[in-house]
Amino acid sequence: MLPHARQGQGSPTFVLMHLLGGSHRTWFPTLPYLDARHHCVVLNTPGFGDAAHVEGYDVEAMVEHVDLTIRQLGLSDCILVGHSMTGKVAAVLASRRPDYLRGLVLVAPSPPSPQPMTDADRDKQRQYGKTRAEAEAFIDEASAIRLADDTREVAIADAQRVNLNAWRAWVEHGSREDWSQRLGTIDYPVLLVCGDADQQVPGADEQRRTTLAAFTQHRLEIIANAGHLMPLQTPQALAKSMLAFASEISVTER
């Protein structure tokens, strides 16, 4: 079972995953806006946060870890939330059509196809050594608009806790994996959220063409003044969209 944190009550349960270099703490600013109405389970994925010692860094291995954790926790009514790197993980898990899944929220997701990245950017990420200066630069570039100081420190600390084998496995392999032709047609409803200042993953038009292509029920929302780190940067706006989506799912299932 993956290391995790739990809080709140109410159904469906949000199962939340983090970005490259993050941890369960990435979601801490957002959780207070969710947990009065929903049970929230926040995971550490292999190689990051409290799971720095856990192996299994390719997309399929991460899917197996997440699926097993959800089943071991006995969760039966879930909205799976993927942020950046784990957006691809969430889409692949949904393609298996697990019986506990009700919908997905994809926050600035890495697409199912290989993630567009210049050779220079890939080389820069490959050489990351988790020094303080490198972690600061990584967080500031990803946030686009500087995070509040206290929040920024949490994000920097997480970026320095990573297992570099996991980091490099994503840069070299996971981000390049192509699942676009293997997902089939996915009937779960999905909400995809983009930040209008995000330069880390494809923008709204490209996300519609790639990530959302497999989903029959989807909508896309854009949060203003947000970079890639929306759970840390615009938690209230992100939570508002997530709560509305969860409510719609609940109404549809009645």
Q: What does 171-233 look like in DSSP terms, one character per residue?
A: HHTGGG---TTTS--EEEEEEEEEETT--SS--HHHHHHTGGGGEEEEEEEEETT--S-HHHH
- pLDDT, mean of residues 110-134: 92
Regarding beta strands 13-16 and 78-83, do their DSSP bridges make them parallel or antiparallel, or are they unpaired? parallel
Q: Which two tokens stand for residue 231?
A: 């759970």
Can you give the pLDDT at residue 4? 98
Q: Is the pLDDT of residue 247 over 60?
A: yes
Domain ranges in the chain?
A: 4-253
Does this model's pTM top 0.85? My answer is: yes
Can you give the pLDDT at residue 251? 67
Burial profile 49-69: b = 16 or more Cβ within 10 angstroms, e = fewer: bbbbebebbebebbbebbbeb
Provide the pLDDT confidence category of residue 197 given band limits of 50, 70 and 90.
very high
Q: Residue 125: in which H helix or E strand, if any?
A: helix 119-126
Q: Return the sign of the alpha-carbon dihedral for residues 101, 183, 126, 164.
A: positive
- pLDDT, mean of residues 142-167: 97
Q: Which two tokens stand for residue 3?
A: 């290391």
d(CA 173, CA 159): 19
Can you give the pLDDT at residue 250? 78
Q: Is the pLDDT of residue 99 over 60?
A: yes
> What pairs with residue 105 in β-bridges?
81, 191
Provide the pLDDT confidence category of residue 129 given band limits of 50, 70 and 90.
very high
Kindly state the percentage of the chain with pLDDT values over 70: 98
d(CA 101, CA 143): 30
Please tell me the CATH code under which domain 4-253 is placed: 3.40.50.1820
